[in-house]
Structure 1
């Protein structure tokens, strides 16, 4: 706020307004906005969460087990279902925006890019969502955004938690598109109606890759787990899984069953040492919009 001359930026007002409306166990809670004596003295009083998943993934001695991954993902999906039912798209889902309390409760945070949307859907800028988690329709310049962009990012998060590393760590938009094609095959009008009319399709020469390689990437994952990932990674946004589809997936009903949040590990040693600065390349790129 110290550089602002004309009051609170519209992006901050948007975020504050949204957060004050939202009340869900898996969404970070804005308790109140406190104003001091000066223009720059504006404080958001938030519910306290001990850690974020990105720094945990960087520093954990052993990765989350599959039962723990399921516990985390179910909680994120519940929060997303609540957001989408209230016509809100988060537009920046990633592990660094997922917070976890010492009771194992996972909360989605950082609503700086979130938008309420209506029907018909109005055009929005495609330059949203951190690159590694950005859906192909955004990379190809779509002017309309739906809740499906959050669901693509959810697929990236699930895959990252299962593989213990980012799934699609692109270094540029062109590289990001190429990584998606390598993993899922080349998109076409058959599987993605309207694909050839997307604004930026002409700027990319997509490699010819007829195969979906998710099974090779996760050879140990159950059929139900692969089905869920494939559903989240549908090229056609209209066919992509919704948050409700994710919650109803048989993946969460088979062994290993999701652990209870209270049984999630706690990380006092991680919290008590000073926060590790985001110097590593992975941490930096995971967090950059």
Structure 2
């Protein structure tokens, strides 16, 4: 008999790289999940959406019976582990805590690191679905309540040197208690001083700031403020404010609304890279009052401040919260008094048949 024939096979070991030092280290396969719970501790109920880097499900924690949202991190193109985008989102969410930012409770894993889920607090609806399905628009008092919560969340992020980079109504969740939550941090970045270049093609087109469209080399928190202005306009109009079909068309819509920028109002404008390839049409008028004829002067001033062409002159989240628009009638309603919309909750978005199929498909991935 050969020596060692009946000996147990050596334990497999996994090699990982440290996020802080970059050095490689080994861990036993049985410890690969660390303190993470298994995804089998949760029952998936239905698919409720899709984020920048993953599909989102409504699920129930089988131990606590709590309803949660589970975001499956996309792994299709990753041969060597978790994608950087997923790691960024996990790292950011684990280190921030604010009532207006979706809370990452924990990370759950499947039988291998090829199945990773972010377990987050569950919110009953998102603003995009509500705007699509509401019979009557939000009142101005309700709009103010929503926007104040958005600016409070942004104020926290920006004070912690985080740019969200993908603000839009579908990434803004609303609980049944009227609490707004900023979600989907798949494109979010930490930044430092001096600001380093980032990928310019972020932020969904309709919410994209002009400096991104014109390929400025640096991105600041001002891109989130521009997007917040687009959200405010959309809530007031009950339809997208700047629904561009292409980057050129998006710029044309911005110019129709605000007029054509120049170096006087935006120093360095004429040297932006994209302007080497085309010339913007000339339109000298600011048409915000035409788009929002019922809005008070304070409301128009706030929109103008949010839509400053020069990112350095654009409002900050803190300055936006101090706007007189929020202290004049109609005053923002209390979050608890926001209407609830049980007919538009996430759980209603999937039929029973498609729900069972979705669970079966996901089970095969785990």
In the other structure, the counterpart of 1:192 is: 266
TM-score, structure 2 as length reference: 0.74
Structure showing the higher strand proportion among its residues: 2
The correspondence of residues 1-289 of structure 1 with structure 2, limited to 5 A, is 1=74, 3=76, 4-271=78-345, 274-275=348-349
Distance 1:272 1:100 in 2: 11
Conserved? CA contact 1:174–1:204, under 8 Å: no
Q: Which runs of 5+ in 1 are unaligned?
A: 278-289
- Distance apart, 1:38 and its partner CA: 1.7
CA deviation map 1:140-174 (0-9, x unaligned) = 00010100000000100000000100000000000
Give how far 1:274 is off: 2.9
CA distance in 1, matches of 2:346, 2:89: 30
Structure 1's consecutive aligned runs of 4 or more residues displaced over 3 angstroms after TM superposition are none
Query: What is the aligned-residue RMSD (CA, Å)?
Result: 1.3
Structure 1 residues 276 and 216: CA distance shift in structure 2, 3 A:
farther
Give distance in 2, aligned partners of 1:2 and 1:25. Answer: 30
Q: Give secondary structure in 2 for the equivalent of 1:43.
A: strand
2: CA distance between counterparts of 1:208 and 1:33? Answer: 51
Deviation at 1:273, TM superposition (A): 6.4
The alpha-carbon deviation at position 43 of structure 1 amounts to 1.7
1:174–1:252 Cα change, 3 Å: same
TM-score normalised according to structure 1 size: 0.93
C-alpha distance in structure 2 between counterparts of 1:102 and 1:228, whole Å: 28
**Residues 214 and 275 of structure 2 are in contact (CA less than 8 Å); yes or no, is this contact kept in structure 1?**
yes
Contact 2:168 2:207 in 1 (8 A): yes
Contact 2:305 2:315 in 1 (8 A): yes
What are the superposed Cα offsets for residues 239-287 of structure 1, whole Å, 9 maximum, x if unpaired?
000000100000000000000000001011222763179xxxxxxxxxx
**Which structure exhibits the higher relative contact order, with contacts defined as CA atoms closer than 8 Å and separated by 6 or more residues?**
1
- Choose between structure 1 and 2: higher helix proportion: 1
Q: Which has the larger radius of gyration?
A: 2
Q: What secondary structure does 2:250 align onto?
A: helix
Q: 1:37 to 1:276 in 2, by over 3 A?
A: closer
2:345 is paired with a residue of what secondary structure? helix
Offset, 1:184 = 0.4
| Structure 1 partner of 2:6 | none
